[in-house]
Structure 1
Amino acid sequence: MASRGVIGVFLLSALPLLCLELRRGIPDLGIKDLILLCGRVFLLLALLTLIISMTTSLFNSFKSSQTYLKEEEEKNEKRQKLVRKKQQEAQGEKASRYIENVLKPHQEMRLKKLEERFYQMTGETWKLTSGHKLGVPDLPEEPSETTEEVVTVALRCLGGKVLRRRFFKSWSSQVLFDWMMKIGYHTSLYGLSTSFPRRPLEVAQDQSLADIGITVDTVLNVEEKEQSN
């Protein structure tokens, strides 16, 4: 449509020239001259048509190339987005594996070491073993302060904490070890000793507190046993 419009414009522009030539050559214009003039006009029109056709073709080709480049850019952008997404997913999966396989075990090991050091400082290394708290017997009900034949025993733990409890003198001396196990010190790792003079406390099921010498208020120490290799 555009090329036809341009051809029409050039035709209208050529008409005045044609009229001018005709006016100048009317007195001596012959058939031969008229034919030559028409040939020149048609040749000019042919040249103009060729130029317009080539220009239109170049314009359309340029426009098509621009459209093609734009489509290619959009495709490349989509491909790049897809590649970036896959890379991000791969990085996220890699980070998750690193946390699960490296950081988490390392943190658990570090916490375990800190826990071991803490229990060693507080004298509660029994908590690092398994099964020692099983089978601890229940303690009998603590008698009141006004009850006769009652003795108060203070238990000094390794961390410096002191616990107190009342017992009947007639109770089995085994109740002291039961009490020690009840608060978390297993007899396989810890024992009891008197303060002054310091000596290991020997208890037995068939001996009462009075039989082992605890007839007055007494302070006992929790001590860690020496472990044989």
Structure 2
Amino acid sequence: MASRGVVGIFLLSALPLLCLELRRGIPSLGIKDLVLLSGRIFLLLALLTLVISVATSWINSFKPPPQVHRKEGEEENEKRQRLARKKQQEAQGEQASRYIQNVLKPQQEMKLKKLEERFYQMTGETWKLTTGHRLEVPDLPEEPSETAAEVVTVALRCPSGRVLRRRFFKSWNSQVLFDWMMKIGYHKSLYSLSTSFPRRPLEAEGGLSLEDIGITVDTVLNVEEKEQSSQ
């Protein structure tokens, strides 16, 4: 663009000279002289154009490329910004991890524990929530048939509301009732048996049989949670 402007300026400056020469020499100039004059003018213009083009290229060679004009301060600023963003992301990640570990996880464990407690309370198996009691599952004797003699049917009404029934020989040791209670999930250290009416605790002492403790007919017994004494 600069070389074209310079050429245009030279053409405009050479135009008056050309007109002056033509006015001076019109009467005596022939066709040959005009051709020679035109050739000289075009030759001069060509030389000027060549000189301007070379000079322009030489000047432009000293100009730094656009990338060089970028300041080092801007690059350092970008590096600092990238480092700051990285540190911020790491800090946010650590904060989220601590929040999950210290807040969300304990909350989830507490909710799960409450659900577990509620479930065992509904099923009447709160003994499973305690520690220090070893779960023992005693073996029960085979249940007698419905047509066997000297047989009574005992029903256990559980805290959950369900009622379970089983047949026993009257001559069996009364301890079999507590073994049955433990078999269905109620530990005797936390639960006791009592008669329905009149309500009285059922105690199996020594080698007393079911008949000895008064169970001679079909009976309904209640499974009740013992009151825990405060230490």
TM-score, length of structure 1 as denominator length: 0.68
Is the aligned partner of 1:172 residue 2:173?
Answer: yes
**SS at structure 2 position matched to 1:160:** coil
Cα distance between partner residues in 2 of 1:86 and 1:118: 47
2:30 equivalent in structure 1: none
How much has 1:198 moved relative to structure 2?
Answer: 1.7
Cα distance between partner residues in 1 of 2:196 and 2:3: 123
1:182/1:205 CA distance change after superposition, 3 Å: farther
How much has 1:84 moved relative to structure 2?
Answer: 4.8
Cα distance between partner residues in 2 of 1:146 and 1:78: 94
**SS at structure 2 position matched to 1:179:** helix
How much has 1:186 moved relative to structure 2?
Answer: 1.1
**SS at structure 2 position matched to 1:142:** coil
Cα distance between partner residues in 1 of 2:144 and 2:2: 119
**SS at structure 2 position matched to 1:212:** coil
Contact 2:138 2:179 in 1 (8 A): yes
How much has 1:9 moved relative to structure 2?
Answer: 4.6
Cα distance between partner residues in 2 of 1:72 and 1:142: 93
Is the aligned partner of 1:22 residue 2:21?
Answer: yes
| Alignment gaps of 5+ in structure 1 | 28-44
1:40 equivalent in structure 2: none
Contact 1:151 1:216 in 2 (8 A): yes
Deviates more, 1:199-208 or 1:130-139: 130-139
Cα distance between partner residues in 2 of 1:24 and 1:66: 55
How much has 1:115 moved relative to structure 2?
Answer: 3.7
Cα distance between partner residues in 2 of 1:172 and 1:68: 104
Cα distance between partner residues in 1 of 2:197 and 2:3: 126
Cα distance between partner residues in 2 of 1:210 and 1:127: 32
Cα distance between partner residues in 1 of 2:75 and 2:214: 96
Contact 1:172 1:204 in 2 (8 A): no
RMSD after superposition: 4.4
**SS at structure 2 position matched to 1:210:** coil
Cα distance between partner residues in 1 of 2:153 and 2:220: 9
**SS at structure 1 position matched to 2:193:** strand
1:30 equivalent in structure 2: none
Matches within 5 A, 1:1-229: 3-4=2-3, 6-24=5-23, 68=69, 84=85, 87-117=88-118, 119-120=120-121, 123-132=124-133, 134-204=135-205, 206-229=207-230
Cα distance between partner residues in 2 of 1:158 and 1:90: 52
Contact 2:152 2:218 in 1 (8 A): yes
1:153/1:78 CA distance change after superposition, 3 Å: same
Contact 2:140 2:176 in 1 (8 A): yes
1:202/1:147 CA distance change after superposition, 3 Å: same
Cα distance between partner residues in 2 of 1:16 and 1:162: 126
Sequence identity of aligned pairs in percent? Answer: 69
Deviates more, 1:13-22 or 1:97-106: 13-22
Contact 1:121 1:159 in 2 (8 A): yes
**SS at structure 2 position matched to 1:16:** helix
Contact 2:136 2:182 in 1 (8 A): no
**SS at structure 2 position matched to 1:116:** helix
| Alignment gaps of 5+ in structure 2 | 27-47
Deviates more, 1:216-225 or 1:121-130: 121-130
Cα distance between partner residues in 2 of 1:155 and 1:227: 22
Contact 1:173 1:208 in 2 (8 A): yes
**SS at structure 2 position matched to 1:154:** strand
* Number of corresponding residues: 207
